[in-house]
């Protein structure tokens, strides 16, 4: 018995440069790579504005979820990488809580020195289970 594997990409330049997919569905689980604040053309958005980066990053997470017909309520885990975590922790926590509402996935927030793009302050990865109610 083989498991179906599906992938998704935003078609931004760094996907082929780094050689990865934005998400991989393996069976009923979707593994979502760290999402970044960029627009549909792959232009970074929100330089110097943590809140704008959080919003754009969650918008990109929504695009991945929509591709797989998944909902936020099916997210079981998030991983947040934050430059300047002490400075941005309250804003990150508030944005995460707003995004998920009364749904509470497991979550890990880690402070990092830098991320892949020079102006990037946040990256959010997730794990989704399609076999739980949406």
CATH classification at residue 89: 3.30.1330.40
Tokens of 30: 């979707």
For every residue of 41-98, DSSP letters joined together read TS-B--TT-HHHHHHHHHHHHHHHHHHTT--GGGEEEEEEEEETHHHHHHHHHHHHHH
Residue 1 binned pLDDT confidence (cut-offs 50, 70, 90): low
Containing 15, the helix (H) or strand (E) segment is helix 13-18
Q: Is position 134 within any domain?
A: no
- Total domains in the fold of the chain: 1
Q: Is position 61 within any domain?
A: yes
**pLDDT tens-digit map of 40-59:** 888 999 999 999 999 999 99
By the 8 A CB rule, do 134 and 74 touch?
A: yes
Q: Is position 39 within any domain?
A: yes
**pLDDT tens-digit map of 9-37:** 888 887 777 788 889 999 999 999 999 99
Strand 75-83 with 106-112, pairing: parallel
Q: Is position 94 within any domain?
A: yes
Domain span including residue 120: 5-129
Burial class (CB in 10 A: 0-12, 13-18, 19+), 97: exposed
Q: Whole-model pTM?
A: 0.93
Mean pLDDT of the chain: 94
């Amino acid at each position: 018995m083989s498991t179906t594997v599906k992938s998704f990409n935003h078609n931004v330049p760094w996907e082929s440069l780094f050689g990865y997919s934005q998400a991989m569905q393996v069976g009923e689980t979707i593994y979502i790579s760290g999402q970044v604040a960029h627009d549909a053309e792959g232009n970074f958005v929100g330089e110097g504005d943590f809140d704008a980066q959080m919003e754009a990053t969650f918008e990109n997470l929504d695009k991945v979820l929509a591709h797989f017909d998944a909902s936020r309520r099916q997210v079981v885990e998030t991983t947040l990488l934050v430059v300047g975590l002490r400075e941005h922790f309250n804003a990150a926590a508030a944005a995460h809580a707003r995004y998920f509402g009364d749904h509470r996935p497991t979550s890990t927030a880690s402070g990092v020195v830098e991320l892949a793009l020079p102006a990037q302050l946040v990256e959010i990865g997730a794990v989704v289970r399609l076999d739980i109610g949406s």
